Amino acid sequence: MRARVLIRPKAGILDPQGQTVERALPALGFTGVSRVHVGRLVELDIEDPARLPEMCEQLLSNPLIEDYEIL
Amino acid sequence: MRFGVVTFPGSCDDADARAACSLVDDAVALWHGDRDLQGVDAVVIPGGFSYGDHLRVGAIARFSPVMTAIETFAHRGGPVLGICNGFQVLCEAGLLPGALLPNSSLRFAMRQTVVEVQNTLSHWTRACAGGDLLSIPSKHTTGRYYASQPVLDVMEERGQIALRYVSDPIPNGSLAGIAGVSNEAGNVLGLMPHPEHAVDLLTGSADGLRLFESAAHAQAATA
């Protein structure tokens, strides 16, 4: 099956990418935007989706600094 | 003593690291695909962009065959130094606490930095005195040290915060100005600045040599 894993910075850890995007949007006229965070999406074909959490813990994310969500 | 300096695909400071080690004693190259550490007495994981820094810095290098051997070596008390990308690899491998995040400026920072020796418990800082100031260049994009507050408190208590930046502003936004940390036993040390680039007054400073000398002193003390 096709699986998608969303990885994002843990809440409370400074996210300069999110901050930069947040500051850039008003310059283009997009106002009213706050709490921007930038993460990454991993898509993969997998035979045994039960192994996804293990895969996320060991390689796809670093649990010290990131949260993952299997979509 | 004999130092082994690892080369991963994408390492770029391995030659300088070997040259720095050679000023203290013998140095040999270790290849990322090898499981054999050639009987070295200390391992240096140099700076660069191992495996292209894909996914996260240091994340892929951690699974290379040589790292399996280094993990065993470190767990037995063998001295391991991780410089810049090597520090990132050691954190990903769980040999050091915490992680390194993109600089708060999101920019590549390259400048001479002054770090203060906080602790001389580590095998790699034994030739220094607490409070010594070392002038060592930093050059990185992902050097913002992070560990959760409870972990930082324990590290502080155990003397695992080895080096702090005293240059202002610090190059990366590291928590508590941390430039280098060790494991609890003190045999594994990681730092973002590059001591291998500060081994000759001709290039501005020879302070970096103290770290490599420390490993030699530590070995002489146990021999």
pLDDT tens digit sequence for B46-84: 999 999 999 999 999 999 999 999 999 999 999 999 999
Q: Identify the pLDDT of residue B47.
A: 97
Buried b (16+ CB within 10 A) or exposed e, A33-70: eeeeeebeebeeeeeeeeebeebbeebbbbebbbebee
Confirm whether B157 is a catalytic residue.
Answer: no
| Chain A hits for B175, Cβ within 8 Å | none
pLDDT, position B92:
96
Q: Which residues of chain A lie closer than 8 angstroms to B173, CB-CB?
A: 14, 16
Of B55, B98, B102, the CB nearest to A16: B102
- Rounded to whole angstroms, the Cα distance separating A38 from A36 reads 7
Interface of B with A in 143-162 (CB under 8 A): 144, 146-148
Q: Which residue has the higher pLDDT, B168 or B118?
A: B118
B158 within 8 A of B184, measured Cβ to Cβ: yes
Instruction: Give catalytic status of residue B194 as yes or no.
Output: yes
Report field, pTM of the whole predicted structure over 0.80: yes
pLDDT at B222 over 80: no
Q: Residue B82: in which H helix or E strand, if any?
A: strand B80-83
Check A16 against B99: CB less than 8 A apart: no
Which among B199, B221, B217, B216 has a CA at the least distance from the CA of B42?
Answer: B216
Structure tokens at A63: 């649990």
A20 and B106 within 8 Å at the Cβ level: the answer is yes
Q: Which one of the listed residues B84, B91, B123, B197 is annotated catalytic?
A: B84
| Residue-level pLDDT at B217 | 86
Contact A64 B147 (CB under 8 A): yes
Q: Which residues of A touch B101 (CB under 8 A)?
A: 13-14, 65
- Half-sphere exposure of A4 toward its Cβ, with a 13 Å CA cutoff? 4
ipTM: 0.84
Closest approach of B174 to chain A, Cα-based (Å)? 11
In chain A, whose CA is at the least distance from the CA of B146?
A: A65
Model confidence at B167, in pLDDT bands (50, 70, 90)? Answer: confident
Q: What is the pLDDT of residue B65?
A: 96
Average pLDDT, chain B: 95
